[in-house]
């Protein structure tokens, strides 16, 4: 099985005219990230950096999208939608994706077996490479090259098998990476390692487990860091490890999104089409304790809009994190490898876009299963708001339901402390009108509701980083269910403001009016 990886996604973007080649020579040291940052902020197409000094080429914006508050031909989630359907015939994939379809696809969290690996990994070992010669980008001058859109493949033992984990990392020397991972993963890994050490190895659930060369579990455990992977693998890794419930069956989740070619490396499943594979062993702590394990249960002071090298990825705000160290044993790449990178911390960055969709789908699934009915039409965490704000379109079941709905969302996600509730008929593709309703439809006093000040701080926001509690805000920009129907003001739209015969007449004669520009 082939054709579902990052390359096929980039081919599709190229066909759509949504990928631009940067032919100028661009250095990986801060310059590429600066260009990617401007491009993301301005809603530019994805960028393929064709001339960088290192072994890998970069692509930025592969999972990005334009600002939805400005007029664009494409939606912010279209590139992700393309990426999740990269294996399908282009003729069957619409030029733009329905947001609801993507929510349903990801909220379903469907799984397919992923154990039947089908061939050798596309990347082959290259002993001449080390982490520096790869030429990964830095975010600012004289800082360390980063890993931003990669996953870690790890075998968790017979009970769980291989899982894929989101990581953000920095290169430390030529053969060492410091990686930030979900803390839950590190705890699972520690438990699995301990279990292996006490003789709990073997085969379970039809999965072999082992370390390098398929041998017995190692301590420290053997892992693969995969770069240049497909969107289903990235999305599934986020689905598995961020949020309030952990799922380790990530390869199966990825297969449930789209066919995902896999291969085995030393017994663990890896995405077969990964462009770069870095094999090695994982240590919880560096020798001598110089790389202390840390957790990120509170917002990181080195947050995404600062310029430090430790700018975190968006997913790090969605879960507690820990740090591990990857000692590199070998590096394998495909021929002419291309790696997706994200300008961490930039508005509309790829990692923010991915988390926006994954978290929205998770919340959509959870709130719609919560009251025995499914009142919620859509949930959005607009990347424009850096994930500090959530929009939800819902039927208002009864007076006060807005309060319940908002606080349920607050309970299910730690990212935001502002929820805007809009009417069920609101269009998820019209963020401008949804925000307009916040200003004109919600009574400035009665419909802006602040909680008492003992709520935990939101993790995506930039204030209250010291663990202090504070208020949350929800805004009900919906019609009050107590109002008579006659009070409800119709929207001014082309469809609602003109009778059918006028609309048809205008549509038939439109070209004759010569109003459109070429």
Q: How far apart are CA 363 and CA 296, in angstroms?
A: 22
Q: Which is nearer to another protein, 213 or 466 (CB)?
A: 466
Q: How far apart are CA 476 and CA 448, in angstroms?
A: 7
275, 310, 384, 423: which one binds another protein (CB under 8 A) = 384
Strands 19-25 and 176-182: unpaired
Looking only at residues 302 through 321 of this chain, which bind another protein when binding is defined by CB under 8 A? 305-307
Looking only at residues 237 through 266 of this chain, which bind another protein when binding is defined by CB under 8 A? none
How many C-beta neighbours within 10 Å does residue 495 have?
8
Q: How far apart are CA 492 and CA 516, in angstroms?
A: 22
275, 279, 359, 417: which one binds another protein (CB under 8 A) = 417
Q: Is residue 399 within the footprint of another protein (CB under 8 A)?
A: no
Looking only at residues 22 through 51 of this chain, which bind another protein when binding is defined by CB under 8 A? 22-24, 26, 30-31, 34-35, 37-39, 41-45, 47
Looking only at residues 430 through 459 of this chain, which bind another protein when binding is defined by CB under 8 A? 430, 432-433, 435-436, 439-448, 450-451, 453
Secondary structure letter of residue 206 according to DSSP: T
Q: Roughly what angle, to the nearest 10 degrees, separates helices 401-412 and 350-368?
A: 130
Q: Is residue 505 within the footprint of another protein (CB under 8 A)?
A: yes
91, 92, 508, 513: which one binds another protein (CB under 8 A) = 513
Segment contacting another protein by CB under 8 A, of 95-103, 354-362, 372-380, 381-389: 381-389
Secondary structure letter of residue 305 according to DSSP: T
Segment contacting another protein by CB under 8 A, of 17-25, 164-172, 232-240, 281-289: 17-25
Q: Which is nearer to another protein, 216 or 453 (CB)?
A: 453
SS3 (DSSP) at 464: coil
Phi, psi of 432 (to 5 degrees): -60, -40
Segment contacting another protein by CB under 8 A, of 65-73, 121-129, 158-166, 331-339: 65-73
Kindly provide the residue ranges of all beta strands, DSSP E only, lying in 215-366, ordered along the sequence: 222-227, 262-265, 268-271, 276-283, 321-333, 338-341
According to DSSP, the residues that pair with 261 across neighbouring strands are none
CB of 499 to another protein, least distance (A): 6
Segment contacting another protein by CB under 8 A, of 3-11, 241-249, 364-372, 508-516: 508-516
Considering CB under 8 A, how many residues would be counted as binding another protein?
87
CB of 403 to another protein, least distance (A): 15
Q: Which is nearer to another protein, 297 or 505 (CB)?
A: 505
Strands 338-341 and 262-265: unpaired
CB of 432 to another protein, least distance (A): 4
Looking only at residues 468 through 497 of this chain, which bind another protein when binding is defined by CB under 8 A? 470-473, 483, 487, 489-492, 494, 497
Q: How far apart are CA 229 and CA 404, in angstroms?
A: 39
Taking a C-beta distance cutoff of 8 angstroms, is the pair 419, 410 a contact?
yes
Q: Is residue 70 within the footprint of another protein (CB under 8 A)?
A: yes
Strands 418-423 and 473-477: parallel
**Rg of the chain, C-alpha, whole Å:** 24
DSSP element (H, E) containing 78: helix 78-84
CB of 438 to another protein, least distance (A): 9
Over the window 321 to 360, marking each residue x when it contacts another protein by CB under 8 A and - when it does not, the resulting string is --------------------------xx------------
Looking only at residues 454 through 473 of this chain, which bind another protein when binding is defined by CB under 8 A? 460-464, 470-473
CB of 7 to another protein, least distance (A): 20
CA nearest neighbour of 181 among 165, 201, 195: 165
Q: Is residue 398 within the footprint of another protein (CB under 8 A)?
A: no
Taking a C-beta distance cutoff of 8 angstroms, is the pair 274, 333 a contact?
no
Q: Is residue 516 within the footprint of another protein (CB under 8 A)?
A: yes
Q: Is residue 411 within the footprint of another protein (CB under 8 A)?
A: no
CA dihedral defined by 291, 296, 300, 305, rounded to 10 degrees?
90
């Amino acid at each position: 099985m082939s054709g579902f990886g990052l390359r096929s996604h980039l081919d599709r973007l190229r066909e759509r005219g949504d990928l631009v080649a940067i032919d100028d020579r661009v250095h990986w040291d801060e310059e590429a990230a600066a260009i990617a940052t401007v491009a993301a902020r301005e809603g530019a197409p994805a960028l393929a950096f064709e001339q960088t000094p290192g072994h890998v080429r970069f692509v930025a914006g592969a999972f990005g999208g334009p600002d939805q508050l400005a007029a664009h031909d494409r939606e912010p989630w279209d590139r992700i939608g393309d990426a999740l359907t990269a294996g399908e015939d282009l003729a069957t994939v619409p030029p733009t994706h329905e947001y609801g379809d993507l929510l349903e696809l990801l909220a379903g969290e469907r799984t397919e077996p992923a154990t039947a690996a089908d061939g050798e990994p596309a990347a082959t070992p290259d002993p001449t490479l080390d982490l520096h010669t790869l030429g990964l980008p830095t975010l600012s001058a004289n800082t360390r090259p980063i890993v931003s859109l990669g996953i870690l493949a790890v075998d968790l033992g017979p009970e769980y098998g291989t899982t894929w984990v989101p990581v953000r990392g920095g290169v430390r020397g030529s053969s060492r990476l410091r990686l930030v991972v979900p803390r839950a993963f590190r705890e699972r890994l520690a438990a699995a390692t301990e279990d292996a050490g006490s003789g709990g190895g073997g085969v379970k659930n039809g999965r072999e487990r082992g370390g390098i060369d398929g041998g017995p579990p190692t301590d420290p455990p053997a892992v693969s860091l995969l770069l240049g992977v497909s969107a289903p693998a990235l999305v599934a890794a986020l689905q598995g490890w961020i949020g309030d419930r952990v799922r380790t069956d990530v390869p199966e989740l990825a297969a449930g999104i789209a066919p995902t070619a896999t291969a085995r490396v030393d017994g663990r499943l890896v995405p077969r089409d990964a462009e770069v594979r870095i094999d090695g062993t994982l240590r919880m702590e560096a020798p001598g304790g110089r790389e202390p394990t840390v957790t990120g249960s509170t917002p990181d002071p080195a947050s995404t809009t600062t310029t430090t090298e430790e700018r975190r990825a968006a997913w790090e705000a969605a879960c507690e994190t820990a740090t591990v160290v990857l000692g590199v044993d070998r590096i394998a790449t495909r021929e002419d490898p291309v790696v997706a990178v994200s300008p961490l911390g930039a508005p509309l960055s790829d990692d923010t876009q991915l988390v926006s969709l994954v978290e929205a789908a998770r919340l959509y699934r959870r709130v719609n299963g919560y009251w025995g009915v499914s009142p919620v039409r859509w949930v959005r965490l607009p990347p424009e708001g850096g994930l500090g704000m959530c929009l939800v379109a819902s039927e208002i079941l009864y007076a006060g339901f807005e309060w319940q709905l908002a606080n349920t969302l607050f309970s299910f996600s730690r990212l935001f402390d502002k929820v805007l509730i809009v009417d069920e008929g609101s269009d998820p593709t019209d963020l401008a009108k949804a925000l307009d309703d916040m200003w004109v439809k919600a009574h400035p006093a009665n419909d802006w509701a602040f909680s008492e000040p003992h709520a935990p701080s939101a993790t995506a926001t930039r204030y209250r980083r010291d663990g202090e509690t504070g208020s949350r805000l929800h805004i009900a920009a919906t019609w009050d269910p107590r109002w008579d129907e006659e009070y409800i003001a119709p929207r001014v739209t082309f469809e609602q403001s003109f009778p059918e015969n006028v609309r048809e007449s205008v549509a038939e004669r439109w070209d004759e009016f010569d109003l459109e520009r070429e």
